[in-house]
Amino acid sequence: MRIRQNTFAAASVFASSSKRKMSLTVAAILCIASAALAQGNAPARQAAPAAPPANSWRFAVSGDSRNCGDVVMPGIAASVLRDQAEFYWHLGDFRAIYDFDEDILHQPEHLGKPLVIADYETLAWPDFIDNQLAAFGSLPVFLALGNHEIVPPKTREEALPQFADWFNAPAIARQRIIDNSHDHRMKTYYHWIERGVAFYTLDNSTPDQFDLPQMGWLVRTLAQDSANPAVTTLVVGMHEALPDSIAADHSMNSFAAGTESGRQVYADLLRVQNEAHKRVYVLASHSHYFMDGIFNTEYLRAHGGVLPGWIVGTAGAVRYALPPNARDAHAAETNVYGYLLGTVSPSGEIRFDFKRLTEKDVPAPITNRYKSAFVHWCFAENSQAR
């Protein structure tokens, strides 16, 4: 069996005793942080931002929280809660699976006892739940599968029951029956409607997607929402970007089935925008950077038009270099962590703002657990460029 030793210089800070007690869970950590806020100990930067404009509301999106997600995601959660978002949407890649996540290696309980890969594979998904999802407290969280959720020995079939509380959340189960009264089966793709906005989570975590069952479901559901006057807007989220974007070298273009089915989905969404006159926004992660305007490519301009699209793979994974044609995007930035904040107006129009997370935004109890040297490594060194 494989064993990986902790190789970071910062490790010596942590390894002084094998008798340390297990660290607090994120839920307990956030309770401590909340108490500190109530006592007026928080710096001014943590003051609550302005409330959403009248009659508008907010939601937050990002993805790719492997590697340093246990450090970054609690900071994202705290900021999302301050922004008064209605929910958080995670677009996949919860843990690395193919190798140890650096944040797990730096948990005090693992510093003096190197993990065996089989033990890591057993604890990886519960770790994501305990140290990332728990940070959101009672705020609804919606999940999409990423390709790392399907790295062997993990499978889609294992992911469904592991994350059943999220894939079968009340809003999803209720909408599934509204869409089809005979459909009682939990799936990794789904849709729900919130105040006139139809949100779609698609599953393109494996090279065979989008497969025929998912495509059939999507065509039927798009037709229903297109004909529904109460639905003004569609927001479609997935892990890998649809084909032919600026991020084409790391997207559904990587596989023949993905290219074909992804192009069909793009064409279907264009029809919803152009013929049903709904607003359509498309979100993805997979590439570990932020980009606004991902579909501004010559191919798409020549094949029907450009949809508004974003990549926000900025929740803790090792940061990637921007693609050579990133200058064609409206905005692009790497070596950043953060999330996309959507502000929905009464008309259904959505303004998206990237909310950048800094090292100082990591909650103090998280820094105390992982120590400042490793937290700094996550922000300064967790990058392909370095």
pLDDT (mean) for 1-28: 36
Neighbours of 286 (CB within 10 A): 27
Q: Which of 16-20, 43-47, 129-133 has the lowest mean pLDDT?
A: 16-20
Two structure tokens written together for 381: 């060194």
Cβ-based burial of 345 (10 A; exposed 0-12, middle 13-18, buried ≥19): middle
Q: How far is CA 255 from CA 18, 57, 209, 267, in A?
A: 47, 37, 9, 18
- Residues 382, 359 contacting (CB under 8 angstroms): no
Please provide the DSSP assignment of 152-165 as one string: TT--HHHHHHHTHH
What pLDDT sits at residue 3? 36
What pLDDT sits at residue 22? 34
What pLDDT sits at residue 50? 65
Cβ-based burial of 359 (10 A; exposed 0-12, middle 13-18, buried ≥19): middle
Q: How far is CA 208 from CA 153, 233, 252, in A?
A: 18, 28, 10
- Residues 210, 62 contacting (CB under 8 angstroms): no
Single-letter amino acid code for the residue at 177: I
Angle at 71 between CA 189 and CA 131, to 5 degrees: 55
pLDDT at residue 307 greater than cutoff 90: yes
pLDDT at residue 16 greater than cutoff 70: no
What pLDDT sits at residue 384? 87
pLDDT (mean) for 208-231: 98
pLDDT (mean) for 145-156: 97
343-359 confidence digits (pLDDT tens): 999 999 999 999 999 99
pLDDT at residue 221 greater than cutoff 60: yes
Residue labelled with tokens 């569609």:
234
Two structure tokens written together for 248: 């084409």
What pLDDT sits at residue 59? 98
- Residues 51, 85 contacting (CB under 8 angstroms): no
pLDDT (mean) for 214-241: 98
Domain boundaries, the chain: 49-380
pLDDT (mean) for 107-116: 90
The sheet that has 279-284: what strands, in order across it?
Answer: 190-194, 197-201, 233-237, 279-284, 309-312, 290-292, 331-333
Cβ-based burial of 384 (10 A; exposed 0-12, middle 13-18, buried ≥19): exposed
Neighbours of 68 (CB within 10 A): 27
Mean pLDDT of the chain: 89
341, β-bridge pairs = 60, 353
What would you measure as the largest C-alpha separation in the chain, in angstroms? Answer: 65
Q: Per CATH, which fold does 49-380 belong to? A: Purple Acid Phosphatase; chain A, domain 2 (3.60.21)
pLDDT at residue 73 greater than cutoff 90: yes
Instruction: Tell me how far apart the alpha carbons of residues 329 and 311 are, in angstroms, rounded to a whole number.
Output: 11
Length of the chain: 386
pLDDT at residue 31 greater than cutoff 80: no
Q: How far is CA 136 from the centre of its chain?
A: 13
